[in-house]
Structure 1
Amino acid sequence: MRKSALFAMAVGCLALSSAAPFARDRGNDIASLPTWETVFSHRDLQGVLGASVHSTSGEDMGHIVQILVDQAGTVRAAVIDFGGFLGVGSRKVVVDWGALHFAPEDQPQQIILDLTREQVKAAPEYRSGKPVVVLGAVSNPNPEF
């Protein structure tokens, strides 16, 4: 019995030592993959969470509190905290990403929404975990959402 246990241990050690040259360090594979980089001017990028949104007539429409993406990672809509005063009485509505327009770099940073205050006011409230109703501009319908 003792001999068979020693034999099994010897075979196991031999198998492990012969497998070592074939073992691969996966960390080195990842480090050797080619990478790329893109350099943006600080004027080319702006954060949108918390950014103020205005109508085309200059009315305050609220601010962006969330970005919604589809399963492919494509930005589809923004959740806007609309109405109220200091967060009291406000509600969240979802607007199509295509209805938002970002000012060129030579103008003050602002986001313009192609919807009126009345249209946004009539939109159903966004609630996480419930079906999402996306409000879009008539000139930019997005039936794929």
Structure 2
Amino acid sequence: MLRVTKALMLVTDLGFVAYFTITGLGLIPPQWAFADYADPLMVAWNWSFLWIDLPAGATGLASLRLLRRGSPSGTPLMLVSLVLTTASGLMAIAFWTLRGDFSLAWWIPNLYLMLFPVPAIVRMTVCTATRPALGNP
């Protein structure tokens, strides 16, 4: 499972960077954009995700590099990235739900963000919780 999670993280974290680059350059075709894409309030809402998505991507890419080097600090950083990614997807799904906007073009990627990290988060937190604390026999 960890191998699959790492592969999905790499694609996702690079995707975060690509999405904001494409968005910043105005390259999303209008027919692919979400409802009211040009509305200034929606533009601000969309850009508000920069502050969760880029840290998720940065911590994810850093964790993958650390894990590849065998560093024990890669695992906690991976957990941070996965939690941020889940939160990002959940925030978007909650927004689209409250708005009553059920476009699969935006729901599918955000459901992916919300759900793909869950098995690894559970596994990592259960494994951590069942290990004895440092200093305890």
Please say whether Structure 1 and Structure 2 have the same fold, judged by a TM-score greater than 0.5.
Answer: no
More helix, by proportion: 2
Q: Which has the higher contact order (CA 8 A, sep 6+)?
A: 2
The TM-score normalised by the length of structure 1 is: 0.21
Q: TM-score, normalised by structure 2?
A: 0.21
Determine which structure has the larger strand proportion and give its number. 1
The structure with more radius of gyration: 1
